[in-house]
Amino acid sequence: MKKIRIGYFADGPWSHKAFEKLIIDETIEILFIVPRSDTNDNTLKDFAIRYKIDYLFPVKINSSEFIETAKSYNVDLFVSMSFNQIFKTPILNVPKLGVINCHAGKLPFYRGRNILNWALINDEKEFGITVHYVDEGIDTGDIIKQKCYLITENDDYNSLLEISYVECALILYDAIKEIQGGNSKRIVQNTIHPVGFYCGRRGIGDEIINWNQSSRSLFNFIRSINKPGPMATTVLNGNEIKINKARLIEQAPEYICTPGQLLAKTNEGFLVKTADSFLEIFEIEAKVLLKVGDKLGI
């Protein structure tokens, strides 16, 4: 099989396993690595040194200077994995076979940012990983490969991350091999759904718990941002309380009471009132002593 020459635009844990998968294939040649401009990732730099790959940093990918640099490598394909700059038409036209991206979302749904968090918040029963061609839109290019994975009641942000780190590497590799072999397929996204949808970036303040939600919604919220996320956060008399885990109580009856109030102590944490019933919270980080009767959120 003819060797395929790649420029790798990548950052963070998402990109490490993919790199390790690509580098052992002798028919794939990574000519350069471009990390995020604000990177704290030394692993890719170490990879570049170990495998004698050019490490281009910092880079503005749409600048005329970088476009000329990229052209000089005569690459076949640009590969994006957890990269955060938008590819515009001039740079998209540089590689012979285009630019592809691996996205942990079931395109054309879940375009945008923080997709695993949003999938859990939205009580999805599965999440997708998609490899697609990059165009000037955000996650709108033709789909090459897509695979879906079940979300169970025991899953949380951390478990979905662990699945994604492994599965993104595998599906990305398979997509590159199909492109290399000339047998890749292109699925136009609007043939799946005419609109799809976007998710916005989560930021400071989005971790605050609203106890006036159902037990199911709060369970999903807490597990959607558990470690290594910021953890769901509430307050007690001005003191910050972080909650890493929650558990639904089977057959918990609906009734009216005060949302956010601690109702009972359990072996691992507390029962807390929600808008409709109650749930258990545990793995709690607090600098104050919590006790039954406390009202969280005030």
Please write the tens of the pLDDT for every residue from 119-134.
999 999 999 999 999 9
Mean pLDDT to the nearest integer, 54-68: 96
Mean pLDDT to the nearest integer, 203-223: 97
Lowest mean pLDDT among 36-40, 143-147, 229-233: 36-40
Dump pLDDT digits (tens) for 132-151: 999 999 999 999 999 999 99
Mean pLDDT to the nearest integer, 233-245: 97
- pLDDT of res. 286: 96
* Burial of 113 per CB tally in 10 Å (0-12, 13-18, 19+): middle
- pLDDT of res. 73: 97
Domains parsed from the chain with CATH numbers: 4-199 (3.40.50.170), 215-286 (3.10.25.10)
- pLDDT of res. 168: 97
Mean pLDDT to the nearest integer, 193-207: 96
- pLDDT of res. 298: 83
- pLDDT of res. 218: 98
Q: What is the mean pLDDT of the chain?
A: 97
Mean pLDDT to the nearest integer, 47-53: 97
Altogether, the residues listed in the chain come to a count of 298
Q: Using pLDDT thresholds of 50, 70 and 90, give the confidence band for residue 293.
A: very high
- pLDDT of res. 203: 94
Mean pLDDT to the nearest integer, 194-198: 97
Mean pLDDT to the nearest integer, 208-216: 98
- pLDDT of res. 210: 98
- pLDDT of res. 40: 86
pLDDT at 236 over 90: yes
- pLDDT of res. 263: 98
- pLDDT of res. 115: 97
Omega of the bond prior to 108 within 30 degrees of 0, cis? yes
pLDDT at 229 over 90: yes
Give the residue among 118, 91, 89 at the shortest CA–CA distance from 103.
118
Label residues 196-232 b or e (16+ Cβ within 10 Å = b).
bebbeebeeeebebebebebebbbbbbbbbbeebbbb
pLDDT at 258 over 90: yes
For a pLDDT cut of 70, what percent of the chain falls above it? 100
pLDDT at 53 over 90: yes
Mean pLDDT to the nearest integer, 67-71: 97
Q: Using pLDDT thresholds of 50, 70 and 90, give the confidence band for residue 1.
A: confident
